[in-house]
């Protein structure tokens, strides 16, 4: 993990010490289950629990000697626990501990991500309500289309974050499983009852079936939910970048960054960073998908990948959510530029209204469409309003003898529609 793109408490969750703490939590849960079922002497669990502690440096020294991280961890615990330590890790294989502990870490990390996503969701809804009446030109293909409201932009993102939260919650359920069934998953030296009791203590569900490992489609689904959420944040940041451009200047980051050489620059650096980090998340998803197909009951090709992509993906999405929330909460809105840009085409953004007016006055749709298209090109070339050019049309001009475009009434109707959409509390997605 890069320190630059990781925040507390997510950073600490993926530390080596926290990993060992989760390993210990699983080992103790199994030991407690074994004792409850009478498979180890009474008092073993308490004796071990009171005796052991995590010594990161010592575990590292032992690992350097024997070249196996989990075995080094167990050896250190056994040294501390004395005679009772011989029951630690009974009937288990490394992946029982590592995969079950990883589920705990991912579950906790998803809780942090969901909390951050909820905060962003709340800020987006707040901004949607604040700007539900602020008319802004809508753009399709980067070109002026019809008016919308700034509030509806925020509300669109709010609805998408709601879907992201649903995906993350589903992923949390998918990964909240443990596997304590021994080598190749056959319960050869440990019973399903031990797995069931230990998982209950850990608040996990036992996997219905496993090989030597938990199957990696679960982890891939988690990273997919993270990558999709990251792409939503990229979508938001990209819009902010476009609307911040000098020739648009409708909104601005709360703290744009300057240039080392050009003092006038106000660069949307946070939005650009979010867009860049979203690419990393999508790349990590590709790696997670490739981890699903392993040889037979397991191989080790997924392990090295996961040591990178899982902590990094969680650190990045948490960082991106926090930064996006701050960005949205402090966004600077330039109302005067929004109003200026809305009138930039001198009424051409109301071309569909005029099209419908002509149709209702008896003109065929095709003829009306072509007439307005030609008039729009003339109006743009001559820097005139679309309606004024249409009124000069020898065939259609008489149809525009009375006013057919009450712009303020149209905008008020748009504001009413915007308020009605944003007032929705439930989504039927």
The DSSP secondary structure of 126-178, one letter per residue, reads HHHHHTTT-EEEEEETTEEEEEEEHHHHHHHHHHHHHHHHHHHHHHHHHH-EE
**Whole-angstrom Cα distance, residue 412 to residue 390?**
24
Q: Strands 332-333, 251-252: parallel, antiparallel or unpaired by DSSP?
A: antiparallel
Q: In this structure, are residues 111 and 315 in contact, taking their beta carbons and an 8 Å threshold?
A: no
Q: In this structure, are residues 365 and 359 in contact, taking their beta carbons and an 8 Å threshold?
A: yes
C-alpha 149 chain-centroid distance: 25
Q: Strands 251-252, 205-206: parallel, antiparallel or unpaired by DSSP?
A: unpaired
Q: Which residues pair with 136 in a beta bridge?
A: 148
Where among 337, 360, 377 does a domain terminate? 337
User: Is there a single domain that holds both residue 133 and residue 248?
Assistant: yes
411 in a domain, yes or no?
A: yes
pLDDT at 407: 85
396 in a domain, yes or no?
A: yes
- Give CB contacts under 8 A, 24+ apart, made by 336-341: 337/248, 337/249, 337/250, 338/134, 338/135, 338/136, 338/137, 338/150, 338/250, 341/136, 341/137, 341/144, 341/248, 341/250
pLDDT at 48: 97
Tokens of 391: 């009124």
User: Which positions ≥6 away from 130 have C-beta within 8 Å?
Assistant: 151
**Whole-angstrom Cα distance, residue 202 to residue 23?**
12
- Output phi, psi for 219, to 5 deg: -65, -35
Expressed in angstroms, the distance from the first to the final Cα of the chain is 35
User: Is there a single domain that holds both residue 221 and residue 238?
Assistant: yes
Q: Which residues pair with 247 in a beta bridge?
A: none
User: Is there a single domain that holds both residue 309 and residue 383?
Assistant: no
Where among 337, 370, 389 does a domain terminate? 337
User: Is there a single domain that holds both residue 315 and residue 394?
Assistant: no
Task: Respond yes or no: is residue 264 known to be catalytic.
Answer: no
Catalytic residue among 15, 259, 301, 364: 259
Find the CATH number of the domain harbouring 193.
1.20.200.10
319 in a domain, yes or no?
A: yes
User: Is there a single domain that holds both residue 206 and residue 245?
Assistant: yes
pLDDT at 392: 86
Give the residue from 329, 133, 158 showing the smallest Cα distance to 235: 158
* Segments forming the whole domain that contains residue 305: 93-337
82 in a domain, yes or no?
A: no
Task: Respond yes or no: is residue 68 known to be catalytic.
Answer: no
User: Element (H or E) spanning 206, and its range?
Assistant: strand 205-206
Per-residue pLDDT of the chain (429 residues; tens, 9 = 90+): 678 999 999 999 999 999 999 999 999 999 999 999 999 999 999 999 999 999 999 999 999 999 999 999 999 999 999 999 999 999 999 999 999 999 999 999 999 999 999 999 999 999 999 999 999 999 999 999 999 999 999 999 999 999 999 999 999 999 999 999 999 999 999 999 999 999 999 999 999 999 999 999 999 999 999 999 999 999 999 999 999 999 999 999 998 787 778 888 888 999 999 999 999 999 999 999 999 999 999 999 999 999 999 999 999 999 999 999 999 999 999 999 999 999 999 989 999 988 998 898 888 999 989 999 999 999 999 999 888 888 888 877 777 765 567 888 889 999 999 999 999 855 544
Q: In this structure, are residues 303 and 345 in contact, taking their beta carbons and an 8 Å threshold?
A: no
38 in a domain, yes or no?
A: no
Find the CATH number of the domain harbouring 380.
1.10.40.30
Report cis status (omega within 30 of 0) of the bond before 9: yes
Give the residue from 320, 328, 325, 214 showing the smallest Cα distance to 273: 320
Q: In this structure, are residues 306 and 99 in contact, taking their beta carbons and an 8 Å threshold?
A: no
204 in a domain, yes or no?
A: yes
User: Is there a single domain that holds both residue 288 and residue 376?
Assistant: no
C-alpha 197 chain-centroid distance: 34
User: Is there a single domain that holds both residue 271 and residue 408?
Assistant: no
User: Is there a single domain that holds both residue 112 and residue 253?
Assistant: yes
Where among 337, 358, 373 does a domain terminate? 337
Catalytic residue among 8, 141, 296, 366: 141
Residue in the structure block whose two tokens are 């990273």: 223
């Amino acid at each position: 993990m890069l320190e630059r793109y990781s925040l507390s408490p997510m950073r600490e969750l993926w530390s080596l010490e926290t990993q060992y703490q989760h390993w210990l939590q699983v080992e103790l849960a199994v030991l407690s289950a074994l004792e409850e079922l009478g498979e180890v002497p009474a008092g073993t669990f308490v004796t071990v629990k009171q005796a052991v502690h995590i010594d990161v440096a010592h575990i590292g020294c032992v690992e350097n000697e024997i070249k196996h991280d989990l075995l080094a961890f167990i050896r250190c615990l056994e040294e501390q626990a004395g005679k009772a330590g011989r029951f630690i890790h009974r009937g288990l294989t490394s992946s029982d501990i590592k995969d079950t502990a990883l589920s705990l870490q991912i579950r906790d990390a998803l809780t942090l991500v969901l909390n951050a996503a909820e905060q962003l969701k709340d800020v987006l809804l707040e901004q949607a309500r604040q700007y539900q009446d602020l008319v802004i030109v809508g753009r399709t293909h980067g070109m002026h289309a019809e008016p919308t409201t700034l509030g509806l932009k925020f509300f669109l993102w709010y609805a998408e974050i709601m879907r992201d939260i649903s995906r993350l919650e589903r992923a949390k359920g998918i990964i909240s499983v443990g596997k304590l069934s021994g080598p190749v998953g056959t319960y050869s030296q440990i019973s399903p009852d031990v797995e069931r009791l230990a998982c209950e203590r850990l608040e996990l569900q036992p996997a219905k079936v496993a090989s030597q490992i938990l199957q990696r489609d679960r982890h891939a689904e988690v990273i997919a939910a993270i990558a999709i959420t990251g792409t939503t944040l990229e979508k938001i940041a990209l819009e902010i970048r476009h609307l911040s451009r000098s020739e648009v200047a409708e909104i601005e980051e709360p703290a744009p960054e300057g240039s080392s050489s050009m003092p006038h620059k106000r660069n949307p650096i946070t939005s650009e960073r979010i867009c860049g980090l979203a690419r990393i998340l999508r790349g990590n998803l590709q790696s997670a998908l490739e981890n699903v197909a392993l040889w037979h009951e397991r191989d080790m090709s997924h392990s090295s990948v996961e040591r990178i992509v899982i902590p990094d993906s969680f650190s990045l999405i948490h960082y991106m959510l926090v930064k996006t929330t701050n960005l949205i909460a402090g966004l600077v809105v330039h109302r005067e530029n929004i109003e200026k840009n809305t009138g930039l085409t001198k009424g051409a953004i109301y071309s569909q209204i005029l099209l419908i007016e002509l149709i209702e006055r008896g003109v065929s749709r095709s003829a009306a469409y072509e007439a307005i298209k030609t008039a729009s090109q003339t109006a743009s070339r001559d820097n005139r309003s679309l309606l004024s050019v249409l009124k000069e049309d020898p065939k259609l001009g008489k149809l525009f003898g009375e006013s057919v475009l009450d712009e303020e009434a149209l905008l008020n109707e748009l504001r009413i529609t915007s308020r009605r959409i944003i007032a929705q509390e439930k989504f039927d997605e």
